[in-house]
């Protein structure tokens, strides 16, 4: 029976071939154009066809995300959905330049050794017991992902956590190793929602929000609206990590003294703090201060470029290092996603999608916001959070306008849950990095992550109804 089943499955191996994906994308494009859509203008149909192709390619990852972005920028004007001028003007959104400036700023933070020095200092200072060591890894990862993109933090802290676990005598398959690496991954994932610097999905969402509604969210507003959620989720994550480390019948031998000796040795090798580290820290303090105080007047993008230029002028940033560190492909992907969302809005395609969703019978603002939030969280388990935001936010904003929901609340309802994927290693680079350690099995990620996913979704809905109205978001 199993041999028969395997032989039947082999017959469908062509589905995994790239050419099949290209044919499927072309079929989706044509199908959207011929489907009966009464009252939908031709330009809106064309935008929906491009949207369908983008959703398929971003979701299946047949092509790299930036390449799909280039295809979107090609199809929008080539199909006639929007003019060439509009398509590339949409791409030049301020959010794209904020992302670029933030990426440039993160380069000297890592290259100077400042981030490593801070991480080692915190973990060695507070990691006196198993519980405190796990808490320090979780907290350090969350704190650093407030100012550096999450995947960069995960990649930077990974070798430190790996050496600490090995120095402690922990073997793969043990509970402490699992807890340590999930503390790293969960801390990065949760902490990246604190500010707009933790991931480019936030600036991407702001760009879409500004293009569609003319509204925006300031640096301070983002922190005020998201910080309590982050703190509570970190507390829940710590309780789960502690339970994971202490579970089981047989005690696990963990040599914390050896781990502390390793951390002390690494600290000594760093030597005295360098001039480059001091200047980098000063630039970051000033830049974050300007984002908080002048973000509305100067613009987040202008402040980001001020910080980036200061780093070059003062000699703490090196262009060759920046070229290696900045993910230029992500800039392409995000710019094209913003252009696509603007096309969906301007042609009326987003409104057409909204009418299709209205047929579901959901007409409560709370149910709509909750449904969108859980859809976003589910989508990010299978595709990048940026792709989930690009796909879902234009439709969500149209729903917000229809039902009188604050567009800023709906934006957060998409972007925050999209950054809270805990179940599958493919949902975020941080979880993939944790699994690559050999101390974390994918099944363990799912087993523990499903609880954090559920609690994160319910907590987000509770915050939107109980906390946001108190701080001016209704």
DSSP labels, 265-327: HHHHHH-SPPHHHHHHHHHHHHHHHHHHHHHHHH-HHHHHHHHHHHHHHTT---HHHHHHHS-
Contacts of 289 (CB under 8 A, 6+ apart): none
| 200 CB burial (10 A radius; 0-12, 13-18, 19+) | buried
Q: What is the pLDDT of residue 318?
A: 94
| Token pair listed for 141 | 């990862």
* pLDDT at position 128: 74
Q: What is the pLDDT of residue 383?
A: 65
User: pLDDT higher for 358 or 58?
Assistant: 58
**Using an 8 Å Cβ cutoff, are 193 and 271 in contact?**
no
Output the average pLDDT for the chain. Answer: 83
pLDDT of 241 over the 60 cut: yes
Do 204 and 338 form a contact (C-beta atoms < 8 A)?
A: yes
| Distance in angstroms (rounded) separating the CA atoms of residues 335 and 100 | 11
**Which pLDDT belongs to residue 110?**
81
Specify whether the CB–CB gap between 194 and 142 falls below 8 A.
yes
Cα dihedral: 340, 345, 351, 356 (round 10): 10
Spatial neighbors of 229 by CB under 8 A, at least 6 apart, are 193, 416, 459, 460, 463
Quote the CA–CA distance of 464 and 236 in Å, as a whole number: 18
Q: State the Cα torsion 306-308-311-316 to the nearest 10°.
A: 170
> What is the reported pLDDT for 8?
47
Which positions ≥6 away from 466 have C-beta within 8 Å?
Answer: none
User: pLDDT tens, 397-443?
Assistant: 988 888 888 999 999 999 999 988 888 776 677 887 788 788 888 88
Which residue would you say has higher pLDDT here, 468 or 382? Answer: 468
Q: How confident is the model at residue 278 (pLDDT cuts 50, 70, 90)?
A: very high
Alpha-carbon span 337 to 428, nearest angstrom: 19
The residue ranking higher by pLDDT, 101 or 263, is 101
Closest to 376 in 3D by CA, of 418, 325, 435, 313: 418
Q: Among all chains, which residue has been given the structure tokens 């500010």?
A: 195
Question: Of how many residues is the chain composed?
Answer: 474
Separation of alpha carbons 273 and 277, rounded Å = 6
CA–CA distance, 61 with 409 (Å, rounded to integer)? 29
Give residue-wise pLDDT tens across range 3-62: 544 454 454 454 557 788 889 999 999 999 988 888 788 998 999 899 889 888 877 778
Cβ atoms of residues 43 and 347 within 8 Å: yes
Q: What is the pLDDT of residue 87?
A: 86
Among 320, 259, 310, 317, residue whose Cα is nearest residue 124: 259
Q: What is the pTM of this model?
A: 0.75
Average pLDDT, stretch 450-458? 91
Mean pLDDT throughout 250-257?
65
Give CA–CA dist 53/64, Å, rounded.
14
Contacts of 62 (CB under 8 A, 6+ apart): 18, 21, 22, 25
CA gap 381, 379 in Å, rounded? 5
Sequence-ordered list of residues with C-beta below 8 angstroms from that of 160, at least 6 positions apart, any chain: 116, 119, 120, 123, 266
Name the band, by pLDDT with cuts 50, 70 and 90, for residue 78.
very high
Task: Report pLDDT for 248.
Answer: 56
Q: In this structure, which long-range contacts are made by residues 353-357, counting pairs with CB atoms below 8 Å and at least 24 apart in sequence?
A: 353/48, 353/394, 353/395, 353/398, 354/395, 354/398, 354/399, 354/402, 357/395, 357/399
Q: Which residues contact residue 54 at a Cβ distance below 8 angstroms, ignoring those fewer than 6 apart?
A: 68, 71, 72, 337, 340, 390, 391
Buried-state track 158-188, b at ≥16 Cβ within 10 A, e below 16: bebbbebbbbbebeeebbbbbbbbbbbbbbb
User: Does residue 115 sit in helix, strand or coil?
Assistant: helix
How many distinct helices (H) and strands (E) make up the chain? 23, 0
């Amino acid at each position: 029976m199993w041999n028969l089943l395997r032989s039947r499955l082999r017959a469908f191996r062509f589905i995994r071939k790239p050419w099949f994906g290209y044919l499927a994308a072309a079929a989706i494009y044509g199908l959207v154009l011929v489907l009966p859509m009464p009252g939908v203008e031709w330009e809106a149909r064309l935008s929906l066809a491009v949207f369908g192709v983008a959703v398929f390619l971003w979701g299946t990852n047949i092509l790299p995300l930036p390449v799909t972005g280039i295809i979107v920028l090609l199809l929008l004007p080539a199909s006639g959905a929007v003019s060439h001028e509009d398509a590339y003007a949409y791409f030049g959104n301020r959010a794209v330049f904020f992302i670029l400036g933030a990426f440039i700023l993160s380069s000297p933070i890592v290259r100077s050794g400042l981030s490593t020095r801070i991480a080692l200092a915190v973990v060695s200072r507070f990691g006196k017991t198993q519980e405190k060591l796990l808490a320090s890894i979780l907290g350090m990862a969350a704190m650093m992902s407030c100012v550096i993109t999450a995947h960069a933090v995960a990649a930077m802290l990974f070798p430190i956590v790996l050496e600490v676990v090995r120095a402690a005598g922990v073997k793969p398959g043990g509970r402490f190793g699992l807890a340590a690496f999930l503390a790293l991954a969960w801390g990065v994932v949760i902490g990246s929602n604190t500010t707009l610097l933790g991931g480019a999905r936030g600036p991407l969402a702001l760009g879409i929000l500004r293009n569609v509604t003319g509204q925006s969210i300031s640096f301070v507003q983002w922190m005020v609206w998201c910080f309590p959620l982050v703190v509570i989720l970190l507390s829940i994550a710590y309780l789960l990590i502690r339970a994971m480390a202490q579970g089981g019948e047989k005690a696990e031998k963990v040599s914390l003294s050896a781990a502390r000796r390793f951390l002390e040795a690494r600290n000594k090798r760093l030597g005295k703090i360098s001039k480059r580290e001091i200047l980098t820290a000063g630039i970051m303090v000033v830049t974050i201060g300007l984002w908080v105080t002048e973000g509305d007047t100067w613009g987040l993008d202008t402040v980001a470029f001020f910080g980036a230029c200061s780093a070059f002028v003062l000699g703490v940033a090196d262009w060759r290092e920046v070229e290696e560190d900045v993910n230029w492909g992500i800039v392409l992907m995000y710019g094209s996603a913003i252009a696509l969302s603007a096309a969906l809005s301007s042609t009326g395609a987003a409104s057409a999608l909204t009418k299709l969703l209205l047929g579901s019978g959901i007409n409560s603002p709370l149910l709509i916001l909750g449904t969108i939030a859980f859809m976003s969280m589910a989508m990010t388990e299978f595709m990048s959070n940026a792709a989930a935001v690009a796909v879902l936010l234009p439709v969500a904003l149209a729903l917000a306008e229809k039902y009188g929901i604050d567009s800023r609340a709906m934006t957060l309802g998409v972007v925050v849950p999209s950054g809270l994927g805990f179940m599958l290693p493919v949902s975020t680079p941080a979880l993939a990095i944790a699994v690559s350690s050999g101390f974390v099995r994918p099944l363990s990620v799912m087993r523990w992550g499903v609880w954090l996913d559920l609690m994160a979704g319910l907590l987000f809905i509770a915050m939107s109804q109980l906390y946001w109205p108190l701080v001016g978001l209704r």
